[in-house]
Amino acid sequence: MSKSKKVLLVTGGGRGIGAATCRLAARAGYRVAVNYASNEAAATALVEAIAQAGGEALAIKGDVGSEADVLSMFETIDRAFGPLDALANNAGVVDQRARVDEMSAARLERMMRINVIGSMLCAREAVKRMSTRHGGKGGAIVNISSIAARLGGPGEYVDYAASKGAIDSFTIGLAREVAGEGIRVNAISPGIIDTEIHASGGQPDRIERMRRVVPMQRAGTAEEIAAAALWLLSDEASYTTGANLEVGGGR
């Protein structure tokens, strides 16, 4: 087991964009911590597939919206892999299609807790480990936002769009805060990507409906987002921080 390999945590890494990021990262030589919320079968199958391909990965259950879970997840990574080098803040949820005047406080609280506070808590723990101010050796963070932040999601999920708007501001602020401490922080704003998130929000036909409004006339793949994430985390992006890379087929 090589101790020199870089360590990456991908939140929500068991399925969709997160899983593609884990697969690509393992191929690039990272030791990958695959966080998941409840779908243990998906995360475990992914870890096994990575191991079969000669990579190294570990599945870790935890709700990013729970501070206790986040603390325990980072401690597990410290013990298993050693100091973290990179974080992909990917875990995120949508909810059923609704107007703002129909949204309950419980829905809003869940949306912000997972999408916003979850990413901020994970970034906090990553900075504590990576910042030269805390004795770390630097690192990189990529936050998965959405082009919904600028489209607003009217009639569908304004709460989700607003949660991604918060991620955009957080990316700029944190990037500037830790730029002198060896940490780069960037965001990716995907357009419509073919994953199970649309069905989880009660819209299994969303890709088919929406692809016509995309200039490229198709949804993107999880792998197309993963490729952008891996670039932003790599040394090839060494002068890129506070950026928000749109990967949305021109939309």
Q: Which of 88, 93, 130, 229 binds ligand NAP (CB under 6 A)?
A: 93
- Which of 30, 36, 157, 160 does the annotation list as catalytic? 160
Interatomic CA distance for residues 197 and 53, integer angstroms: 27
Residue 125-164 contact track with ligand NAP, rule CB under 6 A, x = bound? -------------------x-x------------------
* Residue 14 binding ligand NAP, by CB under 6 A: yes
As measured in angstroms, the least distance from the Cβ of 137 to ligand NAP is 27
User: Around Cβ 202, how many Cβ atoms within 10 Å?
Assistant: 12
Q: Report the residue number, 119 or 131, with the smaller CB distance to ligand NAP.
A: 119
Nearest to 190 by CA among 103, 126, 248, 109: 248
Q: Report the residue number, 30 or 36, with the smaller CB distance to ligand NAP.
A: 36
Q: Count residues contacting ligand NAP (CB under 6 A)?
A: 31
Residues 185 and 178 sit within 8 Å (Cβ to Cβ): yes
Q: Report the residue number, 61 or 132, with the smaller CB distance to ligand NAP.
A: 61
Chain center to CA of 38: 16
Q: Which residues of 100-117 are buried (b: 16+ CB within 10 A; e: fewer)?
A: eeebeeeeeeebbbbbbb
Residues 78 and 117 sit within 8 Å (Cβ to Cβ): no
Q: Which of 9, 46, 64, 121 binds ligand NAP (CB under 6 A)?
A: 64
* Residue 23 binding ligand NAP, by CB under 6 A: no
Q: Which of 5, 6, 24, 36 binds ligand NAP (CB under 6 A)?
A: 36
Q: Which of 5, 6, 8, 15 binds ligand NAP (CB under 6 A)?
A: 15
As measured in angstroms, the least distance from the Cβ of 120 to ligand NAP is 13
Residues 117 and 91 sit within 8 Å (Cβ to Cβ): no
Q: Confirm whether 30 is a catalytic residue.
A: no
Residues 122 and 89 sit within 8 Å (Cβ to Cβ): yes
Residues 25 and 223 sit within 8 Å (Cβ to Cβ): no
Q: Report the residue number, 136 or 201, with the smaller CB distance to ligand NAP.
A: 201
Interatomic CA distance for residues 207 and 200, integer angstroms: 13
* Residue 171 binding ligand NAP, by CB under 6 A: no
* Residue 38 binding ligand NAP, by CB under 6 A: yes
Q: How many residues does the chain have?
A: 251
Interatomic CA distance for residues 139 and 132, integer angstroms: 9
Residues at the interface with ligand NAP (CB under 6 A):
11-12, 14-18, 35-39, 42, 63-65, 90-93, 114, 118, 144, 146, 190, 192-193, 195-197, 200
The catalytic site residues sit at 160
